[in-house]
Amino acid sequence: MSKSNYLNDVHQVAELIPKGRVTSYGAIAEYLGMKSGARLVGWAMNAAHSNPKVPAHRVVNRNGLLTGKAHFATPTRMQELLEAEGIKVLDEQVVNFQNIFWNPLIEL
């Protein structure tokens, strides 16, 4: 298996995202100490397929846009999962994003 630290950390943080809340790749990256390692978070999320516990649908980009939706089973899967938690999505974008944004730096 891998010895990658960030991958494991990213997954652990993602698992801590409360239901009905969302966070951004950059926020997780910053929490882990990466200034601009948001890409790694995206890569980690891609690897998160092995971890069904990781709610990848709660991780969006800094604009609240569902950039990762294309990587789900279906392009609409991510939005449906979010709406099932009470998160409204309009035009691939989380509504009230700022309000439900979960920042690990502050809340964790």
Contact residues toward DNA (CB under 7 A) are 2, 4-7, 24-26, 34-43, 45-49, 56, 59, 61-63, 67-68, 70-72
> 7 near 47, Cβ under 8 Å?
yes
- Please state the length of the chain: 108
Least distance to DNA, CB of residue 70, Å: 7
Least distance to DNA, CB of residue 38, Å: 4
Least distance to DNA, CB of residue 40, Å: 4
Q: Helix, strand, or coil here: 12?
A: helix
> 38 near 26, Cβ under 8 Å?
yes
Give the HSE-up count for residue 74: Cα atoms under 13 Å, Cβ half-sphere: 5
For the beta carbon of residue 39, count every other beta carbon within 10 angstroms: 12
Least distance to DNA, CB of residue 58, Å: 9
Q: Using the minimum distance from each CB to DNA, give the nearer residue, 47 or 103.
A: 47
Q: Using the minimum distance from each CB to DNA, give the nearer residue, 21 or 72.
A: 72
